[in-house]
Amino acid sequence: LAYLRAFRVFFVLGVAGLLCLSSACTKKKNSYDVDPAETFRTHMLSEPPSLDWSLSTDTTSSEIQTNIMEGLTDIDIWDPLLKLKPALATAWYSEDSKHWHFTLRKDVKWTDGIPFTAQHLVDGWERLLNPATASQYSYQLYSVKNAKAYNEGKITDFSKVGVRVTESGDLDIELEQPQAFFPQLLFHHSTYPIRKDVVEKYKEQWTEPEHIVTLGSYILKKWDHDKALLLERNPYYYGEAPKVKFILYYVINELSTAVNLFDAGEIDALHDLPTQTINELKKMPEFKMTPYLGIYYYGFNTKKKPTDNADVRRAISMAIDRKEITTLLAGGQLPTSGFIPQGMMGYDPTAGVKFDPDAARKLLDKAGYKDRSKFPTLSLGFNTLDQHQRIAENVQEQLKRNLGISTELSSEEWKTYLNTLRVNPPNIYRHGWVADYPDPDNFLNLFTSYSENNHTFWGNSEYDSLIEKAVSESDASKRIELYKQ
């Protein structure tokens, strides 16, 4: 589907982080009642939009959630192949990749002392799939028998969905079709168990520290909205106790402020670095760079003129030099034109639309815009951050230079921006995706017609069919061929 690839612009971002161990800097006392020697202090660029794991869609929220919660499975991030490891499930098996059995831990307690049971998982899945929840991640469980039908309101009896609590207190799951990588999906925060009684009692306030109950290695001790979040080691945790007692996240919107706090010994790590000073920061001994499975991309609103025209979308994509952008950022990012990141099965360096300004100009002529003065000004939106601003300004300049068209830039605070993407995205919008599970399906199913994270408003039944065929294909080489189509 060449025209699908025509309306996307992508490039991979690597992760660059600065770490300062206690031996390398003097920790200063903070305003929270915690021992600095037992506290890891870091920052996030915005307030988590939601800690409700049935509703959240962003990495800011999920970073907190993965510290305070667990799913059936976990991923060994130190394994080169990112293999699964046990979490709430001690073991799982399937003879046909369609019928799965998960053996659950019987020694897990929630932070209020209540024992964890398989029913809490069933309750979490029902809430995720319930149409009233309106979760953008409901499709995460569409491979479960009748899950999609329940989410779409075609059936109202959840007992018909393919998840059962066994007499031994474990889980049996039946899928719509075989899916060998199904256990990988259950690492994701949307599939976490939930305490139905707590949600029903406290409603929208259930994620506040005084109400929330969790079962991960940390508890949410304090949430000073728009200022900081404090996590504390969970005394009920079944596994090995974390070495650090507290994690303190400061909400710091300006990267330059975060760098100053790091230099002053007020925080121990930087998640992001200001692009203007990254070359100098690279010289510091504390600088560490590690890759991750993630992409940074620009999407198109295919319902808004003129980006409703596939030739216009392709022309814009061809007019943007990704390498110029990664050179500007200087943080180890890798330019790409495909949606599967380097290092993942199915990665193809030849995929997608390549930089070709001459062909882009001809394509825009073909779309009916030989007279560039008649081409409307494009809206380009992004969430507020220095790095996003610099990228947007570069894209704005490239489109003017290579196509002679104008763009109007706009930025919004993260939570507001996410709502804009749901309701009325601009012609071109900034987004990113970090792997929820290490499989191409996690990236390519974003653009299915049923994905609530598809803000392009594009949909194609042939594309949906190819994704579904690839999901049930057990032969890796055949799966890759389906994804290439």
Helix (H) or strand (E) holding 328: helix 322-329
Helix (H) or strand (E) holding 431: strand 428-434
Nearest Cα residue to 120 out of 108, 132, 130, 131: 108
What pLDDT sits at residue 29?
Answer: 53
Longest dimension (CA), the chain: 72
Give yes or no for residue 192 having a pLDDT over 50. Answer: yes
Nearest Cα residue to 483 out of 338, 296, 300: 338
pLDDT, tens digit, for every residue of 429-477?
A: 999 998 888 889 989 999 999 898 999 999 999 999 999 898 888 888 8
Average pLDDT for 319-336: 91
Angle formed at CA 452 by CA 447 and CA 458, multiple of 5 degrees: 40
pLDDT, tens digit, for every residue of 343-375?
A: 888 899 888 999 999 999 999 999 999 999 999
> Which structural domains are found in the chain, ordered by start?
2-14+292-484 (3.10.105.10), 15-69+199-288 (3.40.190.10), 73-196 (3.90.76.10)
Average pLDDT for 191-213: 98
Give yes or no for residue 151 having a pLDDT over 60. Answer: yes
Nearest Cα residue to 332 out of 292, 390, 299: 292
What pLDDT sits at residue 30?
Answer: 61
pLDDT, tens digit, for every residue of 397-421?
A: 999 999 999 999 999 999 999 999 9
End-to-end CA distance of the chain: 6
The residue type of 291 is P
What pLDDT sits at residue 272?
Answer: 78
What pLDDT sits at residue 20?
Answer: 40
Per-chain mean pLDDT for the chain = 90
Q: How many CA atoms lie within 13 A of 54 on its CB side?
A: 23
Give yes or no for residue 298 having a pLDDT over 90. Answer: yes
Give yes or no for residue 8 having a pLDDT over 80. Answer: no
Average pLDDT for 210-220: 98
Please count the other Cβ atoms lying within 10 Å of the Cβ belonging to residue 298: 23
| Burial of residue 17 (number of CB atoms within 10 Å: 0-12, 13-18, 19+) | middle
Give yes or no for residue 27 having a pLDDT over 80. Answer: no
3-state DSSP: the chain helix, strand, coil percent, rounded to 5?
35, 20, 45
